[in-house]
Structure 1
């Protein structure tokens, strides 16, 4: 897998990961690649970007891929944009990198 280090930053509550969402995709998938220009990990969701449906699915897909509760995943910026910053509570960047390397 590509090195996703540029997409990760540390927070006192966990790790912040920059993602680029493709709403309305045929399948839901995380991670789905890495955009080197935006330093963002790809996330595909089937839900359309209407009334927060895609955002809710982003949280579900990321939590499922990492193997944590949905309550530990939250969108902290970009709720109306394709590029978002997601807080993964209680996980270090190294732990997140390790989990995603196994995906």
Structure 2
């Protein structure tokens, strides 16, 4: 599997493609890799109503990469399970190294 396909350097930021499953029993990131969608899987406990899942995604990603919540932005897919997020202050290499370590590569 090529997790790198889910990540993209964007200036000083990194963009990550996510395949989100809201309403899960517990929040897990990263929860695997969807090779059909070239996306990192993310399970969110919150339901996909009233922006609750999106808020939890932002908090979860910020905590994971040790950045402020304001450094994490959903750039596309706000009302979809397929999202692109942008993280400021994280390089592609750092994000990839961290994800590969946690995804078992």
TM range (shorter): over 0.9
Name stretches of at least 5 consecutive residues in structure 1 with no aligned partner: none
Tell me the distance in 2 between the aligned counterparts of 1:98 and 1:69.
Answer: 20
Tell me the distance in 2 between the aligned counterparts of 1:14 and 1:90.
Answer: 6
- With normalisation by structure 1, the TM-score equals 0.92
CA RMSD in angstroms, aligned pairs only: 1.2
Q: What residue is the counterpart of 2:27 in the other structure?
A: 28
Offset at residue 98 of structure 1 (A): 1.5
Tell me the distance in 2 between the aligned counterparts of 1:10 and 1:65.
Answer: 18
Name stretches of at least 5 consecutive residues in structure 2 with no aligned partner: none
Structure 1 segments, 4+ long, off by >6 Å, are: none
Asked if 1:83 is matched to 2:82, the reply is yes
Offset at residue 101 of structure 1 (A): 3.0
Q: What count of residue pairs does the alignment treat as equivalent?
A: 102
